[in-house]
Structures are given as structure tokens and as C-alpha cells.
Structure 1
């Protein structure tokens, strides 16, 4: 029974992540009219940035408060993914919008 409950929890967690990624695809396509296939990569980049902050802060400081740690992880992940998305928009989306193929 314990195994079943654990697997249900794992399924809900993974399903929630898939749902967030799907909502992101839908929002990006609805706003700019193009599909960003790097969406999952950017999602993982934010996770890696948060993990790096976690590893650095827990190795340098002896157990920072959890709230401070989570806040810094969130801020760094947001900044990293925002910068990457801005770069993709400047390098890929703007030049392709000038092409007649991408117009609605």
C-alpha cells in the first residue's frame, strides 16, 4: 500500500511538471504565433541554475535558512532563464518574423 501511495505521489508530481511545460508551450504559441522547441531545454536550464546555487550556498555557508536558500534559488533560476529567453528572442524570433513564412 505504501508503494502505491508513493507512486501516486510521483505521478502527480511528474504530471504537474508536464502540465506546466504544456501551458508554457500554449502561452508562447498564443502570444508570438511560433513554437519554441527549446522550451524544455530552458526549463532544465533553470533547474540546473537553481541546483548550482544550492550546491554553492550549502558548501560555503553552514546551513543557510531554507527560506533564504529557496528565494535565492528562485531568483537565480528566473534571471538565468530570462536572459536565455531574451537571447533566443533576439537571435531567432526577430529575424524569422521578418520572413513572410512566419506571418499569420
Structure 2
């Protein structure tokens, strides 16, 4: 009986170490303040799950992440041709406005 209780306790502790992260945002052009569509965004720790912003510049990323006492911020990579790439941290549940700057002309 003690083994079953201990196993149940360990299982509860292990499950509680994961959290469901949701990071939302809008990507805009730094100069014009207009939304940018088709910007590639992804969780730095899960680069295989890339998304693109919609016509309003909006995106949403979600996933399971470890966190003993809460969800850590998600590190999000933002990339678009002709713009300087960026990395931002977004807390779970937060919606962040991200400004991308055009690369200088050569």
C-alpha cells in the first residue's frame, strides 16, 4: 500500500512540473507601425514547429514546457526576409507587440 501511495505522489509531482505555455503577439514594421504578414515565428526550444503571422501580423504559439512552480517565459524567434531577425521572451498568457526593423540597403 505504501508503494502505491508513494508512486501516486511521485506521479503527481512529475505531472505538476509541466505547464502549457501560450505565447501570442503581433509583429509590426518598426518604421511604419503596420502589421507584417508571413513572418516566421517559433519557440527557440522547438524550432521544428514554425508558424507564420496572419494578415494582421498576429501569431500564437503553444506547447508543453517544464516549470516547477510556474510556466517560464517562451523564447520566441522572429524572422522575415528583408528584416533583422529577433528574439523575445513572452510570458505565458501575454500578448506582445514586436517591432521588426528593415535591414539596411546594401
Please give the TM-score of this superposition, normalised by the length of structure 1: 0.29
Specify which structure has the higher proportion of strand.
2
- Richer in helix (by share): 1
Superposition TM-score, scaled by structure 2 size = 0.29
